[in-house]
Structure 1
């Protein structure tokens, strides 16, 4: 495998890249610019996306002490390092890099979801402290030994494992071996473990009574799977709704709005101050003109305004009203765009939920149809 940075210029994680990454997470450009001027404290950021940036070396992330989600996928990283300060990290994506050794993850004791997909790793190791690990993706690497997977038995909460694309998957006993050594595993290579193992067992049973009991259990498993998937989807909907109201989850967005409304209030204060000063200067100038004490030449159009006090006051007030109207219109425009964005997010979530429920129902129907076909064959025998 050739090194990608032979043809691509490597980048380093510096202050400029981090600032840009944080700003790009804002909902719209104008709010991002406001946040850029006021500044964002990195310790308040909980999610950071640094994918597709040709990063060669992990560095300068020590300020993100409250980070829970970090994307470093699709770069050219060779070594896992400089993550010790991210002790609150729950989700870490290092897929599509050039990593050869699993290391540097000891401090991430809260990590639940880890992706090392599509790297150059030949051994599963150095993960002992990650006892909260639930999802582990290490497909498309160089794992060759089935026995190495037994290392994962120590992770009691591991429920989802992806090994697809590794040489060890070519072993005929692959699925049965994994199921036997990781009995608590629910999903293997994006499929339900029972689907990989139980069907083979049932189809080869010679004892009718045992086969019938297994079919009954499989029916119960399908029903339980349906309930579990629907429950998980409802929990996802609830979590997304809570996140939509949570300050911690949307701190960057809320910060941008606070900055925005504060800035608009400052604009109005400046305009009011400007109006007061301009009115004071205009009245003083009028008094000087009336007393013939004003020596400067005035354009004819301007001199026409200094006929009397009412005329000049009306002119200055009219200018003030125009300026305030422009500020109001600008504020309304930005708020409208922000509301439109929020509405689209809500609509997208509704569509996502409907599609996911449809997928779950289709999957359960497919499993039930396979089971019905097996029962039909059993009756024919």
Structure 2
């Protein structure tokens, strides 16, 4: 199933190994010798063979940013790691190693051909980002569950699959199960799957097996529908929160809300500035008027209640200041009233949206539960028959 440590000491990929591998695999003619003397830029390397080198740990490949083909087969590698920088990789061979878990491949979104043949893997997983995958070899591993193969349905470009040598292949339903769930395969276990072969497989399936296969697919579709509906609802909530923002100017909110509040507070500040300016002018006029009255130079008519204020300077100054305080208080009260109403409106909108979201999530769950119940009833009827 996998290679054991032999007499050669386990290796880690280091600079010396990489330099030697690149030189050995590069051109050997005059141009190649010149490149050796002047040094090779790893960024120019697009193919790299590191097979049969007793490598235990993958490392130091980050410089090969344009690599498209990498061979790491026939080593003693135990973990898939340190491949994140190889984003242009199309072909990867990790066969004949000691790998137990599929991992560390998330960044290889362009990968088309992946070989994990002859390792210790017991589950197909962690390949979601490899949507370009066309060829997948995972024979001679420890796969035991047919249901795990359904995971490969998400790879719409997958045309070649090798599972030979796994315990799962001993299941008498193996070929028919694969044919039912991966109908786009062209090659399965080194054999061409033509239309006639596929049709024979399906025809040989009993009605119960066909129904069971469909039920598995329907369960998968229901699960996907649930995820899609929940995702859409969460996106709706996020969009509403961005548009709505938070009315409180202290916390972070949308640009529109911030602009609205900046304009509002600027306007209120202008009102206070105008009132202060008015107060200064009024105080100046009142004092000038008092001086004219004292000198008997004020000839204009004046109501009696107003004239009573011009008894002395303290009286008129106190009266003008009192008027100023009242005006500022009205501005403050108006500002508080507007902010309070705005916060009340925001709270109401938030509450309504929260209730709407809860109701929608409840509806989605009820709908999914209904579909699942209908499917369970169908499964029960099939078993009874």
C-alpha displacement of 1:165: 0.6
Higher relative contact order (CA 8 A, sep 6+): 1
Q: How far apart, CA to CA, are the structure 2 residues paired with 1:199 and 1:124?
A: 27
Please say if residues 35 and 256 of structure 1, whose CA atoms lie closer than 8 Å, have aligned partners that are also in contact. no
For 1:56 and 1:30, how far apart are their aligned partners in 2?
35
Cα displacement (A) at 1:219 = 35
5 Å matches for 1:100-111?
100-111=100-111
Backbone CA RMSD of aligned residues: 21.9
1:28: how far off?
A: 2.5
The change in CA–CA distance for 1:63 and 1:228 in structure 2 (over 3 A counts) is: same
List structure 1 segments (4+ residues) > 4 angstroms apart after TM superposition: 29-32, 201-243, 249-381
Superposed displacement of residue 177, structure 1: 0.2
Shift of 1:186: 1.3
Q: What's the offset of the Cα at 1:50? A: 0.5
How far apart are residue 233 of structure 1 and its match?
48
Structure 1, 277-286 or 261-270: larger mean CA deviation: 277-286
Q: The residue matched to 1:142 in structure 2 has which SS?
A: coil
The 1:3–1:242 alpha-carbon spacing in structure 2 relative to 1, beyond 3 Å, is farther
- Name the CA shift for 1:330/1:232 in 2 (closer, same or farther; >3 Å): same
Note closer, same or farther for the CA distance 1:250–1:273 as it changes in structure 2 (3 Å cut).
same
Counterpart position of 1:375 = 379
Mark the CA change 1:118 to 1:356 in structure 2 (over 3 Å): closer, same or farther.
farther
Deviation at 1:35, TM superposition (A): 2.2
Report how many residues are paired.
Answer: 376
Alpha carbons of structure 1 residues 224 and 339: separation in structure 2 relative to 1, 3 Å: same
What TM-score does the superposition give when structure 2 sets the normalisation length? 0.51
Q: 1:58 and 1:81 mapped to 2: Cα distance?
A: 6
CA deviation vs aligned residue, 1:37-94 (integer Å, no higher than 9, x gap): 1100001111111111110000000000000100000100000000000000010000
Question: Aligned to 1:114, what secondary structure does the other structure show?
Answer: strand
Instruction: Determine the structure 2 residue equivalent to 1:302.
Output: 306
Q: CA 1:340 to 1:214, structure 2 compared with 1: closer, same or farther past 3 Å?
A: same
Cα deviation digits, residues 187-226 of structure 1 (max 9, x gap): 1111122378447459979999999999999999999999
Describe the superposition over 1:147-187 as per-residue Cα deviations: whole angstroms up to 9, x where unpaired: 00000001111111000010100111111000101111111
Structure 2 residue matching 1:70: 3-state secondary structure: strand
Structure 1 residue ranges without an equivalent (≥5):
244-248
1:280-319 equivalences in 2 (<5 Å)? none
1:87 aligns with 2:87: yes
Whole-Å separation in 1 of the counterparts to 2:297 and 2:83: 74
- Bigger Cα displacement from structure 2, 306-315 vs 28-37: 306-315
Q: TM-score, normalised by structure 1?
A: 0.52
Of the structure 1 ranges 203-212 and 26-35, higher mean CA displacement relative to structure 2 is found in 203-212
Q: Is the 8 A contact 2:45 2:66 kept in 1?
A: yes
Pair 1:90–1:250, CA change in 2 (3 A) = farther
